[in-house]
Amino acid sequence: MQQIDKTPRLTDAGYIRDLLERHGFHFSKKLGQNFLINPSVCPRMAEACGIGPDGGVLEIGPGIGVLTRELARQAGRVVAIELDDRLPPVLAETLAGVDNVSFVWGDRMKLDLRRILQEQFGDRPVAVCANLPYYITSPIIMMLLESRLPVDNITVMVQKEAAQRLCAAPGTREAGAVTLAVQYYAEAQTLFGVSRGSFMPAPNVDSAVIRLRIRKQPPCAVRNEALMFRLIRAGFNQRRKTLLNSLTGAGYAKEALAAAFETAGIAPTARAEQLTLPEWAAIADALTQ
């Protein structure tokens, strides 16, 4: 473990106010800036991503560096991507003397993460760890999963309701299209809840830390993944209807669908939330034949 102080200052509201005032920094709502001030959360998140001195962590949105510092204590190397170009002088102060962290300034949604991971970490084991801005939680997670980055896990703080959706068991009311997409790429687990008072400024919602362990192989084979996900989205868009009707409404011919359902062994009265991933794959395969 790196010899980096477990400084309590970055979770001390008075210190943060003074720090930000000295740098003329005001929180941006637009960028989802709610900084962690609960001292027990960052060590737990860093431990949960399970990366030690031989590995690397990619952090998205370091803010003033409270999680970054803890990751740098536990992992060999940390690369943090931050969009807010007012933060470099703040981070230069809060991470002074920490030499295993580097920054990439830019929008996570527009950067070539595969190249960054290769350049910065080579063949080391890597995890993604972040307190994600709420406004782009699902797009960031889906982009990380769909780009099949060579990472072991994605351990992130998200809004509590998003955690429930992302980690829902199939067939439950919380499960949606995004639940199945996550399941295809990863094993999802909610690790612990975090109250709104753990942030500065406090948001109007509670949060939870989830871990997505990336699967080496998807849980089912499918010939056309894109088609399967289109069907899943169309099915959940109108989840009260029978699948046959919701998919017909989304532009698929009823006869072709009915034949595909029969081949896949799915009842024509089935609804989106009743199907498992292998069953969605079977319908997509039958439509591909």
- Number of neighbouring beta carbons within 10 Å of residue 39: 16
| Neighbouring residues of 24: CB distance < 8 A, sequence distance ≥ 6 | none
- Interface with ligand SAM (CB under 6 A), residue from 16, 36, 57, 79: 36
Strands (E), the chain: 35-36, 56-60, 77-82, 101-105, 126-131, 153-159, 186-194, 199-200, 207-214
Q: Give min distance, CB of 255 to ligand SAM, in A.
A: 45
Q: Give min distance, CB of 24 to ligand SAM, in A.
A: 16
- Interface with ligand SAM (CB under 6 A), residue from 55, 56, 61, 235: 61
| Part in contact with ligand SAM (CB under 6 A); list of ranges 106-114, 175-183, 224-232, 240-248 | 106-114
Angle at alpha carbon of residue 221, lines to 220 and 224, rounded to 5°: 125
Size of the site for ligand SAM (CB under 6 A): 21
Query: Angle, nearest 10°, between helix axes 177-185 and 225-237?
Result: 150
Task: Report 110-139 residues binding ligand SAM (CB under 6 A).
Answer: 131, 133
- Is 82 near ligand SAM (CB under 6 A)? yes
Measured distance CA(281)–CA(285) in Å, rounded: 6
| Part in contact with ligand SAM (CB under 6 A); list of ranges 30-38, 222-230, 252-260, 262-270 | 30-38
- By Cβ distance, which residue is nearest to ligand SAM? 61
- Number of neighbouring beta carbons within 10 Å of residue 99: 10
- Interface with ligand SAM (CB under 6 A), residue from 18, 47, 107, 161: 107
Binding site for ligand SAM (CB under 6 A): 31-36, 60-63, 66-67, 81-84, 107-109, 131, 133
